[in-house]
Structure 1
Amino acid sequence: MSTSLKLAADDDTNPPGRRPARLTRAEKAEATRQRLFDAAVQTVGESGYAAASIAAITARAKVAQGTFYNYFESRQDLLDQLLPSISRRLHALVRQRVLEAPDDAIEREKARLSGFFEFLEKEPHLFKILSEGTVQAPRGFRMHLEMQSASYRRALEYERLRGNLLIDDPVEMDMLTQMLISTREYLSGRFCFEDGQYVRPSAGVVETYVKLLQGKIFK
């Protein structure tokens, strides 16, 4: 065999007939944990927190009940992790849409709302997990609110530093943050779901939201 052919053979990481590399113990453990987590998201999203027993979650994940405690301290520990995890994915998608938007304050805010609707379309379970979270997973719900508030507050500070806001007072900035977050979540509940199923909101929802931001509602 020539040197070049020998090197090519040595570099072939997936030759025909070779079995895929086995997962390490750590990779198997993470895969099991993720199955449990995904099963909890699906169960809560479909039937609510009350239906998310350890038995239901492990059955859906095809994992023995005793294995559950290798990954989570309790049922409540798992449920409290749902919203923060979803919150991180939401932040990543919205941030990407904002980066893709034109360099304009209103366009960035449109991207935040549109990105939120897009995320709900991909992960509709968020709505039920969020709506019941205040009672069923208060710790996770608080973490979610803190994460979303901090993210939105940073976005508004970015606009303030560039002279794109008419308010400058830190207290008003905090109140505005909560108003915008609340508006986003209310609009999703009103226009993104019918009979428990996600529906894409009309473009008019975002456009009317923009009119509100621009002060084009009252004469």
Structure 2
Amino acid sequence: MASNPPAKCCTVGVKHDGEPTGTTFKVGAYDAYLATPPAGVAAAQDTAILYLPDIISIWQNSKLMADQFAANGYLCLIIDLFNGDPLALNRPDDFDFMHVDPIVVAAVKYLREEKGVKKIGGVGYCFGAKYVARHYPAISVGYFAHPSFVDEEELAGFKGPLAISAAETDAIFPAEKRHRSEEILKEGGHPYQITLYSQTEHGFTVRCDLANKQQKFAKEQAFLQAVTWFNHYLL
């Protein structure tokens, strides 16, 4: 694997303050949240961000992050990869990852057919990173944060620009996995970026303690990394 399976650190974090401004609804049978660029913000035409979340799925922090993508001009859809039943930390041996793929397909179809989107950028946090990788070329530009469960073949199969935010302390995406990912992406020959954030742990981009100055800085810089990446490669 290019990254290890989720662990306890995937559920530890701080709930962030704020009032989400998007819409909670259903894409087919699946829970979803849609954030739309507010009035006065120039919206990216025919373009959207598909947000594939960590195992906590659609909640306060992920909604606020989707709103931030919208504030930067991107229609942003979060889809519940777990169909109302977030992944248990001690997953059963027969857990079928393939059951997640149809949910991503439904989200892509909604963006294409209902919203007229032609270009989709994918953001994958922890568990969600695997499904950004798996759904190239429907997702043409990718961004991972502290990825988990991504196989080397899946990473190599993403043939578009891909950026990764990595935590300094991360048993799921440790240095050896990060370095192997660098080798795979270099061999692929497509634009890539891997940025390591000091004094951070797995999950920092979504669930860090914003009262901690360093963690807050890292979270904000990682988000800026994603937006800058999409601004350059998706627009």
Q: TM-score, normalised by structure 1?
A: 0.31
Structure 1 or 2, whichever has the larger Rg, is 1
Q: TM-score, normalised by structure 2?
A: 0.30
Q: Which has the higher contact order (CA 8 A, sep 6+)?
A: 2
**Whose strand proportion is higher, 1 or 2?**
2
